[in-house]
């Protein structure tokens, strides 16, 4: 069967595919060049305590400032980076840069917030990941408790035992783990129970449904109750309207993130926001 499959693969290998793989190689080269030319930048989006309206964390979100194409969103290049080892180096840069920024804000005396960093599957599976993270944190003089790592359901499913081991290592130095885009993956509740997570982030699609018909809006409420029953904090992603905010507060959702509060902003603007001590109570 394997032989037959292999044969079929050859038969299916069209000129377009060849072009695609060349383009892919180009992309990897471009990404590596971008890294050495310092074309990546981190934006930060505030995470709000829905009860107090205070900023308690910031999610680091990468952008590519391309010299010709302008600002490129992560969805346009992270999937390519994830297809190669480029994601390891880009991911390491993200962790390093986020920690450097956090340390700078700390030294400036800004109110303490945690930083959330997205980890992709390949990074989580990488042998040295915990050593690297701990090395960076020590180098920067940061407390592990100020870092939170976001993974998606599918990321951890790749190799459950190895993932759990890595996550536990991070937790042993006080770092926290969030399950991102919750509800959009393929995980079962059994699997959810096994992961050592501190937070669930409800995907924005369910937040958008919240003001719709009853059978759609109750998904968000169900996720919130599930998380609380598991002793896990819940964050709602993609809050855009005051109505969504109001309902989520009624549902007892802990934290929120979305354009209603703030878009992802460059570091200087986050600085102003933190300095102003501005809250977001509606």
> Does 181 participate in binding ligand C2E (rule CB under 6 A)?
yes
Task: Pick what 227 binds: Mg ion, ligand C2E, none; C-beta below 5 to 8 Å, kind-dependent.
Answer: none
Measured distance CA(135)–CA(133) in Å, rounded = 5
Q: Residue 60 Cβ, how far from Mg ion at the closest point, in Å?
A: 9
> Does 101 participate in binding ligand C2E (rule CB under 6 A)?
no
> Does 78 participate in binding ligand C2E (rule CB under 6 A)?
yes
> Does 150 participate in binding Mg ion (rule CB under 5 A)?
yes
Q: Which helix (H) or strand (E) holds 61?
A: strand 55-66
> Does 73 participate in binding ligand C2E (rule CB under 6 A)?
yes
Judged by CB, which is closer to ligand C2E: 87, or 224?
Answer: 87
Count of residues that bind ligand C2E according to CB under 6 A: 23
What does 213-266 look like in DSSP terms, one character per residue? -HHHHHHHHHHHHHHHHTT-EEEE----SHHHHHHHHHTT--EE-STTT---EE
> Does 204 participate in binding ligand C2E (rule CB under 6 A)?
yes
Q: Pick from 47, 58, 88, 94 the residue near ligand C2E by CB under 6 A.
A: 94
Q: Residue 26 Cβ, how far from ligand C2E at the closest point, in Å?
A: 20
> Does 180 participate in binding Mg ion (rule CB under 5 A)?
yes
Judged by CB, which is closer to ligand C2E: 185, or 196?
Answer: 185
Quote the Cα angle for 89-92-98, to 5°. 140
- Is residue 68 within 8 A of residue 37, CB to CB? The reply is no
Buried b (16+ CB within 10 A) or exposed e, 67-79: eeeeebebeebbe
Measured distance CA(264)–CA(266) in Å, rounded = 7
HSE of 71, CA atoms in CB hemisphere, 13 A = 8
- Is residue 119 within 8 A of residue 92, CB to CB? The reply is no
> Does 179 participate in binding ligand C2E (rule CB under 6 A)?
no
Contact region with ligand C2E (CB under 6 A), list: 11-19, 159-167, 186-194, 237-245: 237-245
Residues that bind ligand C2E (CB under 6 A): 45, 61-62, 73-75, 78, 91, 94, 118, 120, 150, 180-181, 204, 237-240, 257-259, 264
Residues that bind Mg ion (CB under 5 A): 118, 150, 180-181, 237
């Amino acid at each position: 069967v394997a032989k037959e499959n292999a044969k079929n693969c050859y038969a299916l290998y069209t000129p377009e595919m060849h072009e695609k793989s060349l383009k892919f190689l180009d992309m990897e080269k471009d990404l590596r060049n971008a890294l050495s030319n310092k074309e990546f930048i981190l934006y930060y989006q505030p995470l709000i305590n829905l009860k107090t309206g205070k900023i308690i964390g910031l999610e680091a979100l990468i952008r590519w400032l391309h010299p010709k194409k302008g600002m490129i969103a992560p969805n346009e290049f992270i999937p390519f980076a994830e297809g190669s080892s480029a994601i390891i180096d880009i991911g390491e840069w993200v962790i390093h840069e986020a920690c450097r920024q956090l340390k700078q804000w700390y030294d400036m005396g800004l109110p303490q917030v945690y930083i959330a960093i997205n980890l992709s599957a390949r990074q989580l599976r990488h042998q040295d990941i915990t050593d690297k993270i701990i090395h960076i944190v020590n180098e920067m003089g940061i407390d592990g408790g100020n870092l939170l790592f976001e993974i998606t359901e599918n990321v951890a499913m790749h190799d459950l035992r190895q993932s759990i081991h890595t996550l536990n290592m991070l937790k042993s130095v006080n770092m926290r783990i969030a399950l991102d885009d919750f509800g959009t993956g393929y995980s079962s509740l059994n699997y959810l129970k096994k992961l050592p997570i501190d937070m669930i982030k409800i995907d924005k699609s369910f937040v958008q449904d919240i003001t719709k018909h009853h059978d759609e809006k109750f998904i968000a409420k169900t996720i919130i109750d599930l998380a609380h029953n598991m002793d896990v904090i819940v964050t709602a992603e993609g809050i855009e309207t005051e109505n969504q905010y109001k309902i989520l507060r009624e549902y007892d959702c802990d934290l929120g993130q979305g354009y209603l509060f703030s878009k992802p902003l460059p570091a200087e603007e986050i600085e102003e926001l933190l300095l102003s001590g501005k809250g977001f109570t509606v």
